[in-house]
Amino acid sequence: MARAATWCTDALHAEGGDWNAPIPGLEWTVRQAVAHAAEACLWYAIDLSAGATELTTVEQRVKPDGEPAALVSTLTTCASMVVSVLRSVPPTQRGYHPFGVADPSGFAAMACDELLIHTDDALRGLGHVVAPPEDLCALTVRRLFPWVPDVGDPWVELRWANGRIDLPDRPSSNMWQWHCAPLAEWDGINPNASSV
């Protein structure tokens, strides 16, 4: 998780460009994608800390209108909060998520997914294509999307699982979900089968 955050913040710091630019294929701008990734990390830190019952009394929001450097700093801060929580809770800790009551490995993988996918979104909006480390992509896709076919490129698999690209024999889908509860609780069924 910490490596994913470092890769994302380094990649975003390295790229200039128009952060108000729309991202191809999405309804977000670059700054909205980065703010969303930071916000998701903040949610995950709170949700894992709060336990298995949804905490409905807190509103978490990252304002997307800040300067790019401030948004990257916010992303770094929110990601470090997830890392701190992950290091402090027992491995049996569970936290609420709409797709399932996740364990620490689920929250780590969800945070990695948010960071990797939305950093890629932002970079594409800035006109850059940079693939994340293959091992981070492989760990994330296997933990959250155990039904995704192995096509020999974990980054392609992760992008497909998140509805970003098509595979040769499988179109992408706007309707998707992941398996964030412990893998031992996965029933072997692809929850997205009807939409793929």
112 backbone dihedrals φ, ψ, rounded to 5°: -60, -45
Q: Dump pLDDT digits (tens) for 81-119.
A: 999 999 999 999 999 999 999 999 999 999 999 999 999
**Residue 129, SS3 per DSSP:** coil
Q: 2-185 adopts what CATH topology?
A: Four Helix Bundle (Hemerythrin (Met), subunit A) (1.20.120)
- Give the mean pLDDT of 159-166: 93
Answer whether 43's CB lies under 8 Å from 75's CB: no
* Cα Dmax for the chain: 45
pTM above 0.85, yes or no: yes
Q: How many angstroms separate the first and last alpha carbons of the chain?
A: 28
Backbone φ/ψ region at 122: left (φ over 0), alpha (ψ -120 to 50), beta:
alpha
Name the residue ranges covered by the structural domains of the chain.
Answer: 2-185
Indicate the pLDDT class of residue 167, thresholds 50, 70 and 90. confident
- Cross-strand partners of 170: 167
Q: Dump pLDDT digits (tens) for 13-54.
A: 877 899 999 999 999 999 999 999 999 999 999 999 999 999
Residue with tokens 């009551």: 101
Indicate the pLDDT class of residue 194, thresholds 50, 70 and 90. low
- Residue among 134, 127, 120, 130 at smallest CA distance from 164: 120
* Average pLDDT of the chain to the nearest whole number: 94
- Give the mean pLDDT of 116-141: 96
Tell me the percentage of the chain whose pLDDT exceeds 70.
97
Distance between CA 153 and CA 137 in Å, rounded? 9
What's the pLDDT score for residue 30? 97
Asked if pLDDT for residue 196 goes beyond 50, the answer is no
User: Which has the higher per-residue pLDDT, 10 or 173?
Assistant: 10
- Give the mean pLDDT of 45-69: 94
Backbone φ/ψ region at 172: left (φ over 0), alpha (ψ -120 to 50), beta:
beta
Distance between CA 179 and CA 187 in Å, rounded? 10
Amino acid identity, position 31: R
